[in-house]
Amino acid sequence: MSGTPVETFTSLRDVYGDGAAAVLDRYEAISKAHHAKVWREARDLRQGPRPREPDWGAHDYEGYAVLPMAIHLDTIVAVSRGGAEVRVANLESDKYPDLVFSADPDQGVDVGKHSWGNYFLAAYKGVFEAVAAAGLPRPDLTGLRVTIHGTVPTGSGLSSSAAIVCAVSVVLAHVYGLDFSKERIAEFAAAAEQYVGVTSGGMDQAISMLGAPGIAKLVEFNPVRAHDVPLPPGASFVICNSLAVSNKAEGATGRYNLRVVECRLAAAILAVALGMSAEEARGVRTLREVEPLIEKKYGAGPKGSSAGAALAAVDELLHAGTYGTGEIEAILGAPLTSLYESDPAAQKVLATFDAFRLHDRAAHVYAEAARVGEFRAVCLGEAPASDKIAALGALMDDSHASCRDLYQCSCPELDRVVRLAKSYGAVGARLTGAGWGGCTVSLVRDDEVDAFVQRLTDEYVRPLVAEGRLTEAALPDNIFASKPSSGAALLKLDL
């Protein structure tokens, strides 16, 4: 299939570079645990094909492009065929108990019971749906033995859910002999996350698949495609976990999915205000679809530059505060539920909320889309690296302010970490991930990274150890510097 192929490697160094030695023990531990379960179960089952050596999968809107990078944390999946059921284990079995599923990919996902295994099952279903969509023969429904381990903290905003869904999708595609490109896997992995109750935008999955060392990626959607954006030398990104946990699936209705609904409603209301019929506007799904109407009315003159036209339209055509359900239905000429007849996640939002903040959500989306373009332009420009770093930092600061004030997806802990980061010399800092908890990312000049990490550790992270919320051993996983890293890959190892 066209697109970027999933690379297959036989050495950890091919994926981890100089960090290969540091992860060898982890791979050996997963291999040992996987083989112990596989061979014990093979003796007990006395049926099905003999399990094979494991194959490995590592690592891991609104219609607008995004500009993420992959970090060095990852999820590893080992899988063997055997038996009649799908048995899934985690190296951290005390936190993530073993699970057993039917081999039937048409089984449902129990979104009412949040379980780590739901992400595996979503990926499993997603692979078979991708097979059907491509018109390929359905793979044989043999059992699987799967062992998983991830270093991406859950609820941290670092895409732990996308990491597991993508890693599982990659390795299952290989097991079933499917030649899916990285772009195609990113697309169906994003769709598959909706089985756990999250209306995913696709950025996390795209960068989990397409990340590359040393560069960020400008990712566009429908279809997924990525463009290299080399970052200026002289600075690193420092990730700090606020330890305010926000699991997307658990808080989706009142947070992530609510914002998705608000953005679609804002787009529909804008479309009507710009001359589209109510019937047509009910079919508008993203704010990007409204741009041609905005450009037609506001494109000439000073409002026509960058996000000026879109923000002018938002300020003039959407009132401040909230829109009630009745007000929106009167403008669109139909019950809101009719817009989401095949979307249970959105239906749940509408059953829970009757007031929607449309102006602020639209203003954030249009301004953030413009910042993505500006970030790329700075990186590709001719200015000195130090000037580029300063400009990128300012864009990050503006982005966090918009996330906090307009999209309202920050939280007190994230805001405090950002304030501390700026006071300790970060060029720029913002929340990362879906928000409402998780991590911040700070841009720090390379010669200041060590001192920056030490100060932020002493002020914010180490007190969490005293509170019993974090162990001393886990400190390096909760604050660290990272350059852009590799995305998904297959590893065939002799361990």
Which residues belong to the active site? 204
- Three-state DSSP string of 239-281: EEECCCCCCCCCCCCCCHHHHHHHHHHHHHHHHHHCCCCHHHH
Distances (CA, A) of 421 to 48, 207, 431: 56, 25, 11
Which residues, at least 6 apart from 30, have a Cβ–Cβ distance to it below 8 Å? 76, 78, 91, 147, 149
Distances (CA, A) of 158 to 155, 163, 204: 8, 9, 8
* List of E strands, 108-186: 144-150
Q: Check: CB of residue 144 under 8 Å from CB of residue 37.
A: no
Neighbours of 211 (CB within 10 A): 23
Each residue of 160-198: b (16+ CB within 10 Å) or e? bbbbbbbbbbbbbbbbbebebbbbbbbbbbbbbbbbbbb
> Taking Cα atoms as reference points, which of 92, 60, 30 lies closest to residue 474?
92
Residue with tokens 């501390």: 420
DSSP structural state of residue 223: T
Q: Which tokens belong to 447?
A: 């010669």
Given 3-state DSSP classes, what are the helix, strand and coil percentages for the chain, each rounded to the nearest 5? 50, 15, 35
SS3 label, residue 63: coil
Q: Check: CB of residue 217 under 8 Å from CB of residue 211.
A: yes
